[in-house]
A and B are shown apart, each in its own frame.
Chain A
Amino acid sequence: MAFVGLAMAFVGFLIAFGSLGLASGASGRLILVLIGIVVSLAGIMGPLNQAYQKKAVWKR
């Protein structure tokens, strides 16, 4: 799960970076960049953080 979260974080960056080639206008790029940021944050706060929370010291 941790690697899924990490992969999501990186894919979010790729989506934002890819907006440079996939869209030509500022509006299209804006939407893709925002999607990328959301995907990255979701990966970090979701699967990645949750995977480490499962083995947190206060749960032992």
Chain B
Amino acid sequence: MKTTLLTFTMTASLLGAGAARAQAPAPAPAQPAAAAPAAAAPVAITDVDLKAIAGPKAEDRAKGDPGGTITGTVNDIVVGDPKAGLTLPDLVNMVGQNQIAVNFVWTLVTGFLVMFMQAGFALVETGLCRAKNANHTMMMNFMVYGVGMLGYWLFGFAIQEGGVGAVANLGGTAPLSAEHTIKMFGKDLGLWGQNGFMLMHNGTYDVGVMVMFLFQMVFMDTALTIVTGTAAERWKYVAFVASSFLMGAFTYPLFANWAWGGGWLATLGANFGLGHGYSDFAGSGVVHAVGGLTALAMGILIGPRIGKYGRDGRAHAIPGHDITIVLLGCFILAFGWFGFNPGSTLGASGNGNLRISSVAVNTMLAGMAGSFGAMLYMWIRYGKPDASMSGNGLLAGLVAITAPSGFVNPVASVIIGLIAGVLVCLSVEFIDRVLKVDDPVGAISVHGANGLWGVISVGLFADGKSNYGGAWNSVPGSVTGLFYGDGGQLVAQLIGAATLIGFVFTLSFVFNLLIDWFVGQRVSARAELEGLDIPEMGALGYPEFVLKTEAVGVE
């Protein structure tokens, strides 16, 4: 018996070992150990060596270069002194200039994409409003570009970026070095910048500063245009102009300085040990929450449209006139967001900037997840996949990923986007039915609620794997959230959220209250019922169509 057991056991062991060998990949045959390469001795490169490098001959260039093999050679290096010929300083300077040039082109082109988002916002808002207000709604989104830019050029850029200091990706931006600070809690807290008014002040007529201005200006304009959606269909055009100017000149730049311009929120890490300070990669807070909370202030102040609520307080839906341009606008916005988030590295070369690929993919995934979240929520709850909420879900996901896009992984991006898609639906219902604040396009929910969610999600999901030059907000290491070990980061994000809700909302409300006192924010009831196109703009958006003038749901 024992012998049988022993034989069986040995046989089983041999068979098992054989099977294990069969499942495991066959080991590679033993190779002789390769000798480690000897460290190469440094070779001094001299000007004589450079002069010996021969470029393509003129007769070869004259034949054309279909394969691109002789285009871009030593002949294209800029020589400082033609008499001296190519020297080592020429070569080194060219490398440096090329790095900055790559970053300039990247930042400018992504800025152009963000500028094009204005068209997306215009289509979304106009499509969600009634046809009788099409001209007015379009004009607000069209002119907010100019009005905001004027305020930002005169005052806003200097307030926001006047003290940001050296931006290495853009060659230094040295003139932006005057930040007004106050001493509180034993630390210097930055409040606003002081250099760069009209881009001529104190040396700011500078190529690097120009890049910074263009990129930051288009972000500012995104915040301003959000407000036009909430106040649409009853906002006086002159009041819109005044409100947008003040927001572009003061409200937005102030918070943006605190977050991005070297102000006190960014230094919460360096000064108070709270993670890496308030971290907002591309502006869930700075752009979208500022816009959304200002929209909330306007929505409360201006009141609901006639017919939105019955005498019993029940909300009536006022459908938009063209869902096709709404969804087209959403796609344009999604396209532009490839400039919004990846462009926020301010470069594509050096300092960890190759992470632009990760940022772009995170952006796509969150937008996709947001649209799914909203579509599924509406489908389950109301029995149909609502088109406008699906579009808002896409936008909500994009808004929410804007702050964490540079710090999180793809799985987190999907989670953030999915939550955003459901959150926007819940928020629309809450604001519409509980707060009874009328928001024709859902801007408060898309940008306000999800902007704040994006800010908070940095404090939760940042995984510590990014590396933008070894530090962020002057704190060494990578931004890391609660789920990856740094609870202080969440506190910093919440302080930013509290500042948005308590300070930015209040400042916006006060500015618009003053405009209401002096100019009046809301049009007359007659103008509102007729449609704002004729009373405010003097022309119909659709002159060949007969438009209804009575309000929906009036009792």
Contact = CB atoms under 8 A, between A and B. Distances in A.
Interface of A: 6, 9-17, 19-21, 26, 29-30, 33-34, 36-37, 39-41, 44-45, 48-49, 52-53, 55-59
Interface stretch (B59-67, B396-404, B488-496): B488-496
A10 B487 CA distance: 26
Contacts of A13: 498-499, 501-503, 506
B309 A49 contact: no
19 contacts: A6-B509, A12-B501, A13-B503, A15-B498, A16-B495, A16-B499, A16-B502, A17-B495, A21-B184, A21-B185, A26-B491, A37-B497, A37-B502, A40-B498, A44-B501, A44-B505, A48-B300, A52-B303, A55-B303
A10 B503 contact: yes
Chain A: interface secondary structure? helix
Nearest to B310: A58
Contacts of B306: 57-58
Given A10-B503, A13-B502, A40-B505, A33 B491 contact: yes
Contacts of B487: 26, 30
B229 interface: no
Nearest to B265: A17
A46 to B, nearest CB: 10
B304 interface: yes
Contact of B494 (A6, A30, A56, A57): A30
Interface of B: 184-185, 268, 272-274, 296, 300-301, 303-304, 306, 308-311, 313, 435-437, 487-488, 490-491, 494-495, 497-499, 501-503, 505-506, 509-510, 525
Contacts of B503: 10, 13
B293 to A, nearest CB: 9
Given A49-B435, A56-B436, A33 B313 contact: no
Contact of A9 (B272, B311, B494, B502): B502
Please give me the 8 A-B residue pairs with the lowest Cβ-Cβ distance, nearest first: A13-B502, A16-B498, A40-B502, A58-B309, A21-B185, A12-B502, A13-B503, A40-B501
Contact of A45 (B301, B435, B525): B435
Contacts of B301: 52
**Interface core residue of B268, B437, B491 (most chain A CB under 10 Å):** B491
Nearest to A11: B502
A55 B506 CA distance: 20
Contacts of A19: 495
Given A9-B502, A20-B268, A57-B306, 7 more contacts: A13-B501, A20-B184, A20-B495, A30-B494, A37-B498, A37-B502, A49-B436
A55 to B, nearest CB: 8
Contact of A10 (B296, B435, B495, B502): B502
A58 B499 contact: no
A44 to B, nearest CB: 6
Contacts of B274: 26, 29
B272 A20 contact: yes
A26 B306 CA distance: 48
A49 B494 contact: no
Contacts of B313: 58
Contacts of B495: 16-17, 19-20, 29, 33
Contacts of A10: 502-503, 506
B308 A37 contact: no
A21 to B, nearest CB: 4
A4 to B, nearest CB: 13
Nearest to B554: A58
Given A9-B506, A17-B495, A29-B491, A53 B501 contact: no
Contacts of B501: 9, 12-13, 37, 40-41, 44
B132 to A, nearest CB: 18
A13 B211 CA distance: 33
